[in-house]
Structures are given as C-alpha cells and as structure tokens.
Amino acid sequence: MARVLVTEKIADGGLDALRAAGHDVDLRLDLTPDDLLEAVVGAHALIIRSSTQVTDAVLEAGAELVVVGRAGIGLDNVDVDTATRRGVMVVNAPQSNILSTAEHTMAMLLSVARRIPQAHAALVDGRWERSKWVGVELADKTLGIVGLGRIGKLVAQRASAFGMRIIAHDPHVAAERARQLNVELVDLETLAATADFVTLHVVKTPETIGMIGDDYFAKAKTGQRIVNVSRGGVIDEEALAAALADGRIGGAALDVYASEPTTDSPLFEQADFVGTPHLGASTREAQDKAGDTIAEQVRLALAGEFVPFAVNIAAAEASETVRPFLGVAEQIGGVFAGLSEGLPPVIDIEYQGELAGYDTRILTLSVLKGAFAGTTEEPVSYVNAPQVAADRGIEIRETSTVTARDWVNLVTISGGGHSVSGTLVGLRAEPRLVGLDGHTVDVPPSPHMVVVRNDDRPGVIGRVGTTLGEAGVNIADMDVGRTDEGASALMVISVSQALPGEVAEALRSAEGVTSVAVIDRA
C-alpha cells in the first residue's frame, strides 16, 4: 500500500479507483507552500492540478516519491528536470481535455467574431446597442492555427465546418499529414500576414514564450483576431493591448495569462477583448476524464508497470506491437542479472524479427529495470534506469535485425559471458525463456528460478529433483537445454519459493552438477 497525496480536487471516481487498488489516499486541499513541504514527506505519489507548485524543494522533501501526476495537460508548475534527476516519474492526462479545449476555442472564436460578451454586458446594463456590436462571419475567412497537435487538429475540423480556409504553422508536422487534414502549412510570418483569425495551441517553452509580440503584430494582417486557449505567456499581453488600442488587431480572446490568477491587465481595458479565467478544461466530462486518467497512470507507476503518459521517459510511447513485450523484456533482464554476482561493464540488447521495425527504446528500459531491480536502495523505474546504468559505468548497446531464425520476435540480452533470450508464444502471447547461455530452452519466466549446469549424463536430473523434493521445494516448471555440441547441459527450473541457501549448496555439491545460479526477483 502506498500513500497518495492529493492537493487539488479531482474526480471522486479516480480517487475511489486508487483506494480500491489498496492505496491510502490523503486528500489535503488548499495547502500553503510550507504546508506542502510537510505533507509530501512520506508520500509515494503526489496528484495535483494547475495550482500546486512542485519545485525542487518539494521533490527533495518527498524523498519517497515515485510519481507526480498532473490531472491535465500542462506541466508549467512541475520541475520536470529535477524530478527526472531524482528518478521521479511525471505523468499527465494529455487526452482528457482536448475536446473541451477545442470546443472552448471555438466558443472564443465565435465570441470575438460576433462580440457576444460586449453585447451581453451592454444589454444587462440596460442598453440596447444593436448597431454598435456589429461582428463578422467565419465563413470564407482564413484561420491560422499555430500548433497542429491534437487540439489544433480538432479546431481545424470544426473551423472547416464553418466554411473557413485553414492554414497552420507547426515545424513538427509533415506537409503530407497537413494536406490529409486539408490544411496548408506556412511559416509564422506568412500566417501573420494572411490569417483573419489566429488560434494558438502550443506548449510553453523558452521558444514559445512571447512568440506573439511586437514583431508579430508589426507583420500581422490589419484587423486580425487572435484566440489563445493554450498556455499563458505565449502572447506578450502588453504588446497585444497596444495592438488592440491602435486598431492593428481587431479583437482578442484569451483564456490563459502569463500570471494566474489574474484580475488586473491592460487587456481588460480594451473594448474588443474577451477573457475567461482558464476555463479550457472546465467541463464536467473533462474533469472526470482527467481524474480517472491520472489515477490510472499513478496506479500503474506505483505498481512498476508501463505508464503510457509518462512525460519524462525518453521512450514513453509504445506501439501495439512493442507493448506486449514489456513484461518479458523486464523478466529476461532479471534472469540475466541473476546469472552472475554483478552486471558486466557492457550489456548488449538485440531485437530480432518484426520488433526490429519499431521503436524499441521502451523495451530497453524494461530490460534495465529488470536487471537493476533489487540492486539499489531506491526503486528502479523507467525514469531512472538509464541513470542507474550511467552511475555504475555500464554501457548499453542496442542492435536490431528484421531477420530471426527460429522466432517471429526475439529479445536477447548478453554480456560478461552470459546471454538470455525471450519471446512471446501462442495466441495468448505467453512469455517464454527460449535461450540461456547458448542453450535452447522453453520455460516461462517466474520470480524464483534455479539454473543448474551439469554434465550431460544420466542421473543428474534425478539427483537435482530429489534434492529439491527432500527440501520441500516444489518445482513449478522445468526444462532441460543442450548445446549443439551436447557435452554439457543445463536445467532451468521454476520453483514455488525462494531457494534456501543450504538447498543451493546441496545442489552445488551433487554429483555431475558444475554450477548453480539462484534467481530471486520477488
């Protein structure tokens, strides 16, 4: 059972799921920064939204943290670099509010086009100003989308339904992919000069902070209307206020601001400004999805399983072909580590067959996770496994080949005179060890295993079985492997419990046995 500290409100369903998994959910809302430093001590997971600041000091105080979960997309309030150095996984819910944010973008787009908030304010103030608040149509106008990611694509689809022509600026999207969306890719300068409306859908980075400022407004089409429901600080708000005041920009709608919460801005003085207080994700559906998603990501992280939405893992993505091999990759890493007292200075990991055509970096992390498990005081995760290898001076070398002789897919780890190969077999994709130190075997990996090397002569298998039976150790599975030469053999045995030291010594002293390796990964 782990302690999960929750400092901001998330959906009850997500919290209930964590409790059902056996975790202690500690809900502590409205903590001051000093209170947070005290509350995070002893916590294994921290769940936040956008208000809690997860600083270096918080991560230092939370020495037992395994994961920080942000119930939403943005991570401006999390020191991700420090978390990575400390081996703390950072996860978010990137798909939870994309629909609500896209819809809010369209609402802001329509509001700034038809000046709806201004007309509403005048009406409730007792003024019927029908002729004053004349707007413009979206149809036949050009929409410039900055950032053609998940949300940008949804906005493009919806704007197309309004009869808008779509152009976009995104250096990370291929022109062919944009054409499939009926979107023309352009540079930012062309977008500024061409678009009647602009929507922003970018992350906050040093490169994007202030990207829409004086230089942009000097090149922008006169009367352009701008909408930002992405990240605060992407627009220089003072420069935008000046551009609205002198008429260079015809309207602006912002949901996010450089500093939040904000109740005072030069933008608020502009008649053609529409503002909302960071409501992009504020729908019941998005809140529920964010809470459920982040709870599931935290549960997976605490269980040491693959976490799809981890942001500080170099290989967080795993294709449907690769993902089923995560378990067997970790298992063969553990078996490899158990074959000798210490890991070698160079470890080779080879992928053969269909796997070789995919990004296998996450499998390498799984192999390392298995190999280092139990060898360090801190838990080994997908996040810190590469750092553990670097700290120990272990070089990791990866190779891939699409050809495989005996198996459709094969993962092999080797080094220091040892090698272990594993794959998945059958319709159920069951894990198997199929090679060990040059011997062909076929046995499911398990937490407790014994590898016995012996002379290839009659009677040895019986003596090993008798020794284990007399010690009350049950054999769950067993296979005997031979080399092509046939001079020696080995037994790979899955046992039901950790093998006592005296039983291992009895096996080592048995006639015909040359060595015994005990693998305990529980």
List strands edge to edge, sheet with 142-146: 184-185, 165-169, 142-146, 197-200, 224-228, 249-254, 273-275
Distances (CA, A) of 344 to 117, 348, 418: 68, 10, 9
Query: What is the share, in percent, of the chain residues with pLDDT greater than 90?
Result: 54
Q: Is the pLDDT of residue 522 over 70?
A: no
Phi first, then psi, for residue 297 (nearest 5°) are -65, -40
For residues 317 and 164, the model is more confident at 164
Distance of alpha carbon 387 from alpha carbon 404, whole angstroms: 31
Would you say how long the chain is, in residues?
522
Distance of alpha carbon 518 from alpha carbon 494, whole angstroms: 10
Q: Is the pLDDT of residue 485 over 70?
A: no
Look at residue 156 in the predicted model and tell me its pLDDT: 96
Look at residue 350 in the predicted model and tell me its pLDDT: 94
Look at residue 279 in the predicted model and tell me its pLDDT: 94
Q: Where are the beta strands (DSSP E) in 404-487?
A: 409-415, 418-425, 430-436, 439-443, 448-455, 475-482
- Average pLDDT, stretch 71-93? 87
- Average pLDDT, stretch 5-21? 92
Phi first, then psi, for residue 393 (nearest 5°) are 70, 30
pLDDT band at 47 (very low <50, low <70, confident <90, very high): very high
Query: 35, 15 in Cβ contact below 8 A?
Result: no
Q: Is the pLDDT of residue 486 over 60?
A: no
Q: Is the pLDDT of residue 388 over 80?
A: no
Per-residue pLDDT reduced to its tens digit, 142-175? 999 999 988 999 999 999 999 999 999 998 788 8
Q: Is the pLDDT of residue 458 over 90?
A: no
- Average pLDDT, stretch 495-507? 87
Q: Is the pLDDT of residue 377 over 60?
A: no
Catalytic sites, residue numbers = 231, 260, 278
Q: Is the pLDDT of residue 354 over 90?
A: no
Domains identified in the chain and CATH numbers: 3-95+285-302 (3.40.50.720), 98-275 (3.40.50.720), 323-520 (3.30.1330.90)
pLDDT band at 379 (very low <50, low <70, confident <90, very high): low
Distance of alpha carbon 50 from alpha carbon 415, whole angstroms: 46
CA-based nearest residue to 435, from 336, 341, 344, 514: 336
Distance of alpha carbon 149 from alpha carbon 170, whole angstroms: 8
- Average pLDDT, stretch 90-109? 92
Q: Is the pLDDT of residue 304 over 80?
A: no
Phi first, then psi, for residue 123 (nearest 5°) are -65, -50
Dihedral sign computed on CA atoms, order 258, 259, 262, 268: negative
Dig out the tokens for 518 from the structure.
């005990």
Q: Is the pLDDT of residue 382 over 80?
A: no
Distance of alpha carbon 322 from alpha carbon 359, whole angstroms: 8
Per-residue pLDDT reduced to its tens digit, 321-330? 888 898 899 9
Look at residue 376 in the predicted model and tell me its pLDDT: 61
Query: 100, 281 in Cβ contact below 8 A?
Result: yes
| Range with the poorest average pLDDT among 149-153, 208-212, 291-295, 303-307 | 303-307
Look at residue 317 in the predicted model and tell me its pLDDT: 58
- Average pLDDT, stretch 380-408? 82
Report long-range pairs for 250-253 (Cβ below 8 Å, ≥24 apart).
Answer: 250/222, 250/223, 250/224, 250/225, 251/112, 251/113, 251/115, 251/225, 251/226, 252/112, 252/225, 252/226, 252/227, 252/228, 253/108, 253/109, 253/111, 253/112, 253/225, 253/226, 253/227, 253/228
CA-based nearest residue to 329, from 276, 377, 382: 382
Q: Is the pLDDT of residue 378 over 70?
A: no
Q: Is the pLDDT of residue 404 over 80?
A: no
pLDDT band at 201 (very low <50, low <70, confident <90, very high): very high
Dig out the tokens for 140 from the structure.
């036949």
Distances (CA, A) of 471 to 424, 499, 502: 33, 9, 9
Query: 167, 142 in Cβ contact below 8 A?
Result: yes
Dig out the tokens for 498 from the structure.
């950790």
What's the CA angle centered on 516, arms 450 and 476, to 5 degrees? 20
Distance of alpha carbon 516 from alpha carbon 44, whole angstroms: 37
- Average pLDDT, stretch 270-275? 96
Beta bridge partners of 91: 69, 310
Phi first, then psi, for residue 180 (nearest 5°) are -60, -25
CA 328 to the chain's CA centroid = 20
Dihedral sign computed on CA atoms, order 357, 301, 293, 205: negative
Residue whose token pair is 């629909």: 99
Look at residue 161 in the predicted model and tell me its pLDDT: 97
Tell the burial category of 55 from Cβ atoms under 10 Å away from its Cβ (0-12, 13-18, 19+).
Answer: middle
Dig out the tokens for 142 from the structure.
């050009």
Look at residue 318 in the predicted model and tell me its pLDDT: 62
Dig out the tokens for 418 from the structure.
């040892």
- Average pLDDT, stretch 375-396? 75
Distance of alpha carbon 326 from alpha carbon 300, whole angstroms: 13
SS3 state of residue 442: strand
Cα first-last separation, the chain:
16
pLDDT band at 482 (very low <50, low <70, confident <90, very high): low
pLDDT band at 483 (very low <50, low <70, confident <90, very high): low
pLDDT band at 370 (very low <50, low <70, confident <90, very high): confident
Instruction: Compute and round to an integer the Cα radius of gyration of the chain.
Output: 30
Average pLDDT for the chain: 90
For residues 356 and 124, the model is more confident at 124
Query: 318, 326 in Cβ contact below 8 A?
Result: yes
- Per-residue burial over 295-312, b = 16 or more CB atoms within 10 Å of its CB, e = otherwise: bbbbbbbbeeebbebbbb
